[in-house]
Amino acid sequence: MGLTKEQRELFHNALMDAFPTKQSLEMMLSFKLDWSLNQITTGANHEEIVFKLIQNAEAKGNVTELLEAAIKENPGNPKLNEFNSTYLNSVTQQYDIKNLKLLLNEIEFTLLKNSYLQTLPSNTVTDNIELSEIKSIDNIINNLSRYEKRNDKNTPYLVQWIIKIAKSLTKSHNCYQQIINYLNPILTSLNIQDIRFEESESQECDSHLALIIIPELEKFCLEPMCIKGDNIEPLNYVAKNENKLRTGTLCSEKSIPQEVNEIIAYFLKNKNAGLSLIEIYLPYQLLYTDVSDWCYTNDNKQSVPIIEDFHVVVHATDRITGLYNFKYLVGGWNNLMNILSSKEPSLNIQENIKTVNRTDNLKWQQLGKELKNKIGIKLTKPLLNFETEQQEFIKAIFNGGVPFAFWLKCKPSRNRKLELIDCYLTSECLNNNLEKLIKHVYEMRTKAYREKNPKQHLGYHLGFVCDIPDKIAKVRKLKTTKAQLIT
């Protein structure tokens, strides 16, 4: 939040009182912020230097940062503390915090906290335990009110947090519309017009591409399908092979990306030019490395990763073709439904996701048994260049029946650690057939591929598979019907 003219004068007086000499001001900036006063501004006298320092902080969105540093250096100064109280109170009045708190009290606190952790400026969670270990809505509001520095759309952090909450809620949530109504006048006052919450009805009904890849001897058969709402039908894509009785396209593993490119082009031309979602069913041999390196040719004849331009969701072919794999999935799904219907689902969710932190000497069959009573798994370290272990890991997922699994395909770092997806493991995200979870994951992956340095982001290295019994059952039924027609 910017300063009013009255606040600017109060802040100037407070800094002058707390740091009456240029040297004392220089020391505070250097010790607390690593700023060089001489590089920021100069002036004819100390009063002018302080004035220009505040101007610079306003222009760069660093007022709160400067204020906090000054209080840390001189915590007993009454004028600084008085200005701090006045400044924070102005935030409370501007955003009608009393009404906001009444709305937020009706929303699960885990969702509020996760949205808050995503909103905090970079590095603050790891650098400041006080900011990350919050226990109430008041804690969150007070913390975010301290950060008036904004993103490239000039949105205050407090408002960014409320927007993330709205995006995390489903339309059916009893507070969804109230939060939207609360946000609208604030967004209008900030001249923010491009915030999108739920997808429109027309987009939800658009057809999308599903591609089932099935091992066949030493090759793979690609069977494309068109999905619109609850309807699933074969895509009339002309296969390159000459066998008229065959469904799909037979190719080598090396040729799969090129065949997928052709199928996407056919779908865009004949079914839906606005294709945005692609569901790909992979066999266990391909699941670990998934589709990260697959590309398609865009209108400009450029080869672009499909994850960059489409929302790609990966499922498991073996749960379609394997009778027991499907049965195990149904069991895991029942576990998930029981947890979501419990009194405190978010607490139970975290307890029922298996986290594997070591990849050496893992007993895969034992892991599969342990997953029987779980709803998901996270493998926090990669299985680098060990194809056999990668496949055994995927098989353990099938044997355990867990509906979703995450794994890291690179060595973890601060920006590439699997714990970053914990904020999406809430009842809000897992309800409605994992709808929100799937959406957040493919948005994370798409965003990473659009960055200048994709490999610096978790989305680039994130392995993810999820399966929903109802959808698997429909695909199984369609394949059975097709097989009977061919016979």
pTM comes to 0.61
Phi and psi at 383, nearest 5°, equal -100, 80
- What's the average model confidence in pLDDT over 445-460? 87
State pLDDT tens for residues 216-256.
988 999 999 998 877 888 888 876 554 555 568 899 999 99
Closest of 411, 406, 410 to residue 393, by C-alpha: 406
- What's the average model confidence in pLDDT over 121-141? 64
CB within 8 Å of 45: residues ≥ 6 apart: none
DSSP string, 238-278: --SSS-TT--SEEE-TTTHHHHHHHHHHHHHHHT-TT--EE
CB within 8 Å of 384: residues ≥ 6 apart: none
CB under 8 A, 24+ apart: contacts of 139-146? 140/112, 140/113, 140/116, 141/92, 141/97, 141/100, 141/101, 142/88, 143/116, 144/116, 144/119, 144/120, 145/1, 145/88, 145/91, 145/92, 146/64, 146/68, 146/88
State pLDDT tens for residues 367-408.
999 999 999 999 998 886 678 889 999 999 999 999 999 999
C-alpha 189: how far from its chain's center? 28
CB distance 279 to 211 below 8 Å: yes
Of residues 131 and 470, which shows the higher confidence score? 470
> In the predicted model, is pLDDT for residue 201 greater than 90?
no
pLDDT score of 29? 93
DSSP 2: P
C-alpha 450: how far from its chain's center? 14
Strand 353-356 relative to strand 376-379: parallel, antiparallel, unpaired?
parallel
- What's the average model confidence in pLDDT over 297-313? 88
Of residues 280 and 474, which shows the higher confidence score? 280
HSE toward the beta carbon, residue 452, CA cutoff 13 A? 0
> In the predicted model, is pLDDT for residue 416 greater than 70?
yes
The CA distance from 422 to 390, in Å, is: 23
**Mean residue pLDDT across the chain:** 83
Highest mean pLDDT among 20-24, 99-103, 432-436: 20-24
- What's the average model confidence in pLDDT over 71-80? 92
pLDDT score of 273? 78
